[in-house]
Amino acid sequence: MSLITKFSIMTSVKSVRVGVIGLGHLGKIHARIYSGFKDVRITFVCDIIKTRAKRIAEELNVPYSTDFRECLEEVDALSIATPTSSHYQIAKECIQHKIDVLVEKPLAPDLMQAKRLITLAKKNNCILQVGHVERFNKALQAIKDIPGEIKFIECHRIGPFKKRSLDISVVLDLMIHDLDIILELVPSKVRQIQAVGTRVITPLPDIANARIRFENGTICNITSSRVSEEALRKIRIFKENCYISLDYMRQAVKIYTKQKNKIRRKNIKIKKA
């Protein structure tokens, strides 16, 4: 059962009680989006910095706390938007209380912790979802039904240093979006991964490049950086006689196709929300 389906069933009877743990850049967005839903009621917001929690609570006219454990009996679902290093412990305790959880990416600092959370969610019949928002980019949705086997994918996701997500490398900070999308687009198992990265500002890699080869022959080249002068989020997909260029930021799609001896370009109109 999906998160939306389950909540739709619940909201047919009563409003969904939600909370937000972590009120930094993304947590504030979660709280404000929840506040706009008719059938959702924010029962608390939480941050270890009291002044921040109080400010957001006053803006939304909701209760606040500096300890999420105080409020677990008051919610049906939670967003966790704390630093990655704390995701596992917070999500674990929430799931043990039978609470559905939306965790900002990445789900956990390492694969073992992520697998434990998945197992725990299944055991407790809880929804565990990760905030891979790029999946829902309308430009990406517009190209999914274009026919043809993917031969090669080129991804660039770079941006200026923002002093956020400093407890993880650029791979879990930015590249994770492209990895998630590529694994959905390519219907094959991974055969080989080659990757390099380097530190520039933080103690962890700030620039990384990965090349992924799939068993069906598809090759993907991914570059991510959080120390760029300008922001860029693009994916280029190459199929036989077809080249797709997608700009996530501008929600723009261009498709180039070979027709006889000519290359034709088509701009796809994206209906923006």
CA-nearest of 127, 38, 37, 121 to 79 is 127
- In angstroms, the CA 134 to CA 23 distance is 21
Please indicate, yes or no, whether residues 126 and 7 belong to a single structural domain of this protein: yes
273 occurs within a structural domain: no
182-231 tens-digit pLDDT: 999 999 999 999 999 999 999 999 999 999 999 999 999 999 999 999 99
What pLDDT shows up at residue 101?
A: 98
Please indicate, yes or no, whether residues 82 and 144 belong to a single structural domain of this protein: no
Name the domain count of the chain.
2
Q: Among 92, 107, 131, which residue terminates a domain?
A: 131
Q: Is the pTM of this model over 0.85?
A: yes
Please indicate, yes or no, whether residues 105 and 141 belong to a single structural domain of this protein: no
99 occurs within a structural domain: yes
Which of 10-14, 143-147, 231-235 shows the lowest per-residue confidence on average (mean pLDDT)?
Answer: 10-14
Please indicate, yes or no, whether residues 125 and 158 belong to a single structural domain of this protein: no
Q: Among 131, 158, 177, which residue terminates a domain?
A: 131
C-alpha distance from residue 265 to each of 96, 244, 253, 256, 257 (Å): 53, 10, 10, 4, 7
Structure tokens at 204: 């962890």
Residue 2 or 187, more confident = 187
C-alpha distance from residue 81 to each of 50, 159, 201 (Å): 16, 21, 23
Name the residue range of residue 10's domain.
3-131
Please indicate, yes or no, whether residues 127 and 146 belong to a single structural domain of this protein: no
Q: Give the confidence band of 11 by pLDDT, cuts at 50, 70, 90.
A: very low
89-128 tens-digit pLDDT: 999 999 999 999 999 999 999 999 999 999 999 999 999 9
Please indicate, yes or no, whether residues 82 and 194 belong to a single structural domain of this protein: no
The CB density around residue 204, as the number of other CB atoms within 10 Å, is 17
Average pLDDT, the chain: 93
CATH of the domain at 249: 3.30.360.10
Residue 88 contacts residue 115 (beta carbons within 8 Å): no
Q: Give the confidence band of 13 by pLDDT, cuts at 50, 70, 90.
A: low
Q: Among 102, 131, 160, which residue terminates a domain?
A: 131
Please indicate, yes or no, whether residues 24 and 148 belong to a single structural domain of this protein: no
Q: Is 268 left (phi over 0), alpha (psi -120 to 50) or beta?
A: beta
